[in-house]
A and B are shown apart, each in its own frame.
Chain A
Amino acid sequence: MAKRQTTSKAASPRRKRSAKEQARILADAQAALRKLIDQIPRRYDYSDEPALTFDAKQAR
């Protein structure tokens, strides 16, 4: 049998952050997302296969 769990700790609601703090948190999230975006290959050399964002099945 699994070991009996420890008692759950009750969490208290977080204090409300200032607008400045929230702006910083959003900027951090945008920077993390930018790192993901920067990994996307962006080159298109005009001889690649046709754009791959829509297919005939979707055109029904």
Chain B
Amino acid sequence: MTGKIHTIASASKALAAGRTTATELVEDSLARIAEHDARLHSFVLLTAEAARRTARAADAAIKRGKRLGALHGVPFALKDIYGTAGIRTTAHSRLLMKNIPKRDSTVARRLAEAGGVLMGKLATHEFATGGPAYDLPFPPARNPWNTDHFTAGSSSGSGAAVAAGLVPLGMGSDTSGSIRGPAAFCGVAGFKPTYGIVPRTGVIPLAFSLDHCGPLAWTSEDCALTMDAIAGPDGEDPACAPGPIGNFTSGIGRGIRGMRIGVIRHFYERDVEGERDAVDAIEASLKVLKRLGASLVTIKLPPHADWDACCRVLLYAEANAIHERDLAERPEAYAEITRIRLLAGASISGADVIHALRWRRQLCHEYGKALAEVDAVVTASALGAAPRLDDLTEPPYLAPRGKLIMTPFSLTGAPALSVCAGYDAKGLPLSLQIAGRPFDDANVLRVGHAYERATPWRDRRPVL
């Protein structure tokens, strides 16, 4: 064991140069999980022996000169809504404690084909919506920066595991912020790609028209490396855009000189009241982007409340449809928070949904108009550091768990990235969100990478 915490990029370079082995990376990961995860609860299932076997096979292949690429031999873990052949996939729910899929989700298969080493399954909020909660088969994940605090959700285990250095990659899903929220509160990079770029095949859904699969990793570069392995149509997810999808690492290292970046100030200055530290961190980030050679222009979109209302109505209507039968037949099997949220969706009428869909189209049109003049946009991700966990487990259950700016990019399906933008006085992470035009994912990751390289925030890890 080396005790070193790797990013995907650093692990990949070390493997390629023969300075480490997949077996060493897996043993380091297992040792950190053994030491810390009893307090973090980020894993709901560890596949240690399978990981050791996969790592040995990766080492043998690399030794033979058959290295598959950046992810070959690199440990990763999956939010427990990603189906895994022969491996329990619970969605953190009593309803699925005996669910053992016959086949891998497309993302799990692609990561395996890229040579990644699956370490196990990660905590989520139940069915990617109900949480944090204690009336579930597994405890909620805790924030590595301070375990009394919330990780955000629903990719809670992914955010915690990556921040703590247990794995360099945790796959998440994002329906109304479930990748970017945990990335913001846990101080990692979380990327929600353009809708329809990463197949959801084999992933337990929350809302069909809003679900996105994407990575949480320590850096934007790691997100880009992951995207190169998982993106592209699979012929099964009907929402997928036809390929080819492009190269997500194409902008990494190119800098942002000459880029025109829109700043959506009203989201964090007027629409949602932010904490001083969080707003200051965004303003400081804007200065960094300017120093790197980008020109900044203020742009305006419809108020955040509009996006939020439209997105959440559609989400709860779709989620209710998915869970309708189980809500009727075994409602007690859900955690209370999940059951209440899903049942509330039954009160949405057909006309409500149709009007919301028409509104969504109009909002997307507004987004497209605003983005026509810029290469990317920046705004807040979370408007404060992670709140205390135990303050969030009681009703009212439909109230947001944290001040988050997520739904504009959920509704539009636009690529959006949350990156760490510093720390508050208590040492909890602050965040910045970078978004772009649909299918312009590489530019968003390019801005994120340039920002991370120009700031010291990636030099600090939580002390566990």
Residues of chain A whose beta carbon lies under 8 Å from any beta carbon of chain B: 1-9, 11-14, 17, 22, 25-26, 28-30, 32-34, 36-37, 39-42, 44, 51-53
Chain A CB within 8 A of B453 CB: no
Given contacts A2-B145, A26-B343, contact A42 B348 (CB under 8 A): no
Taking A4-B463, A32-B396, A36-B309 as known contacts, 4 extra A-B pairs with beta carbons closer than 8 A to each other, sorted by chain A number, are A6-B147, A33-B345, A52-B358, A52-B361
Q: Which of B135, B139, B148 contacts A14 (CB 8 A)?
A: B135
Q: How many Å lie between the Cα of A9 and that of B39 in the bound state?
A: 10
Count how many pairs of residues, one from A and one from B, have CB atoms less than 8 Å apart in the complex.
Answer: 116
Size bin of chain B's contact surface: 35 or more
Asked if A51 contacts B344 (CB within 8 A), the reply is: no
Given contacts A8-B147, A39-B305, A41-B355, contact A2 B460 (CB under 8 A): yes
Given contacts A5-B463, A36-B313, A40-B359, contact A29 B340 (CB under 8 A): yes
Nearest 3 CB-CB pairings of A with B? A8-B147, A52-B361, A39-B309
* A7, A9, A29, A53 — most chain B CB neighbours (10 Å): A29
Q: How many Å lie between the Cα of A52 and that of B277 in the bound state?
A: 41
Q: How many Å lie between the Cα of A1 and that of B356 in the bound state?
A: 47
Q: Which of A5, A9, A29, A51 contacts B397 (CB 8 A)?
A: A29
Closest Cβ–Cβ distance, residue B126 to chain A (whole Å): 14
Q: Which of B135, B345, B390 contacts A13 (CB 8 A)?
A: B135
Closest Cβ–Cβ distance, residue B229 to chain A (whole Å): 26
Asked if B395 contacts A28 (CB within 8 A), the reply is: yes
Given contacts A13-B134, A36-B313, contact A6 B423 (CB under 8 A): no
Chain A CB within 8 A of B10 CB: no
Q: How many Å lie between the Cα of A9 and that of B463 in the bound state?
A: 17
- Interface positions, chain B 417-464, Cβ under 8 Å from A, are 423, 426-427, 460-464
Q: Across the interface, which residues of B come within 8 angstroms of A17, CB to CB? A: 336
Closest Cβ–Cβ distance, residue B392 to chain A (whole Å): 11
Given contacts A33-B313, A41-B355, contact A6 B134 (CB under 8 A): no
Q: How many Å lie between the Cα of A5 and that of B40 in the bound state?
A: 12
Asked if B146 contacts A6 (CB within 8 A), the reply is: yes
Closest Cβ–Cβ distance, residue B175 to chain A (whole Å): 15
* A14, A17, A40, A51 — most chain B CB neighbours (10 Å): A40
